[in-house]
Structure 1
Amino acid sequence: MEPYPFKFSTEESNHQLQPDQSGVTLHLKNVRGRVPSPQASRLRSLWVEAHKDPTKILAFPCSYDGLSSRLIEEAGFPMIFISGFAVSSAHGLPDTGYIAMQEMCDKVQEVARQVTLPILVDGDTGYGSPMNVRRTVESFAKAGAAGVMIEDQTWPKRCGHTKGKSVVTREEAYARIRAACDARNQGQDILILARTDSLILGWEEAITRAKEFKRIGADGVFVEALPDRAAMKKCIAEVDMPMLANIIEGGKTENISAKELAELGFAAAAYPWTLVAAKLKSIRDALESLKRSFMVGPPETILSYEEVVKGVGFGKYWELEEKYKY
Structure 2
Amino acid sequence: MPCCFDAHSAKLVARAGFPLTFMSGFAVSATRLGLPDTGLISYGEMLDQGRNICAAVGIPVIGDGDTGYGNVLNVKRTVAGYAAAGFAAVMIEDQVAPKRCGHTRGKQVVERPEALSRIRAALDARDEGADILILARTDARAALGLDEALARARDFEALGADIIFVEAPRSVDEMRAVAAATARPNLVNMVEQGDTPVLPPDKLAALGFKIAAYPITLLSAATRAMEEALAALSDGREPANLASFSHLREVAGFDDYAKAEKKYADQ
Quickly name the TM-score band, shorter chain normalised: over 0.9
Match 1:215 to one of 148, 155, 158: 158
Could you say which structure has the higher helix fraction? 2
Q: When the two structures are superposed, what TM-score results if normalisation uses the length of structure 2?
A: 0.95
Indicate yes or no: 2:193 matched with 1:253: no
Instruction: Give the SS at the match of 1:324.
Output: helix
- Deviation at 1:320? 1.5
Name the counterpart of 1:74: 15
Count of aligned pairs: 264
Equivalent in the alignment of 1:126 = 68
Which residue is 2:118 aligned to? 176
In the alignment, what sits opposite 1:285? Answer: 228
Residues 1:191 and 2:133 are matched in the alignment: yes
Equivalent residue in structure 1 for 2:35, among 87, 93, 98: 93
Verify the 8 A CA contact 2:92 2:136 in the aligned structure 1.
yes
Q: How far 1:300 moved relative to its partner?
A: 5.2
Q: Which residue of 2 aligns with 1:27?
A: none
Equivalences for residues 201-212 of structure 1 within 5 A = 201-212=144-155
SS in 1 for 2:185: coil
Deviations 1:134-182 (A, max 9, x none): 0000000011111000000001110000122100111110000000000
C-alpha spacing 1:78/1:301, structure 2 compared with 1 (3 Å): closer
Matched position secondary structure for 2:235: helix
Matched, 1:139 2:81: yes
User: Could you tell me which amino acid in structure 1 is paired with residue 184 of structure 2?
Assistant: M
The alpha-carbon deviation at position 224 of structure 1 amounts to 0.5
The ranges of structure 1 where at least 4 consecutive aligned residues each deviate by more than 6 angstroms after the TM superposition are none
Which residue in the other structure is 2:175 paired with? 232
Deviation of 1:240 (Å): 2.8
TM-score (norm 1): 0.78
Q: 1:273 maps to what in 2?
A: 216
| Unaligned stretches of 5+ residues in structure 2 | none
Q: Matched residues in 1 for 2:178 and 2:30: separation?
A: 30
Instruction: Give the match's secondary structure for 1:260.
Output: helix
Match of 2:211, as an amino acid? A
1:129 Cα offset (Å): 0.3
> In structure 2, what is the Cα distance between the partners aligned to 1:267 and 1:308?
33
Q: Name the CA distance, whole Å, in 2 between partners of 1:301 and 1:88.
A: 27
Q: 1:262 — aligned with what? A: 205
Task: Work out the CA distance in 1 between the residues paired with 2:231 and 2:178.
Answer: 45
| Deviation by residue 1:181-240 (Cα, 9 ceiling, x = unmatched) | 000011122110000001120122111111111111100110011111111112222223
For residues 274-313 of structure 1, the C-alpha deviation after alignment (integer angstroms, 9 at most, x for no partner) is 011011100000111112226xxx6657222211221222
1:290–1:300 CA contact under 8 A, matched in 2? no
Is this contact kept in 2: 1:196–1:224, CA < 8 A?
yes
The CA distance in 2 between the partners of 1:129 and 1:163, in whole Å, is 24
Give 1 or 2 for the bigger CA radius of gyration: 1
1:113 is paired with a residue of what secondary structure?
Answer: helix
Q: Is 1:62 matched with 2:3?
A: yes
Q: What letter matches 2:259 in structure 1?
A: E
Give the RMSD, CA atoms, in angstroms.
1.4
Contact kept in structure 1, 2:5 and 2:24, CA below 8 Å: yes
Structure 1 spans left out of the alignment, 5+ residues: 1-59
Distance in 2 between residues matched to 1:158 and 1:300, nearest whole Å: 36
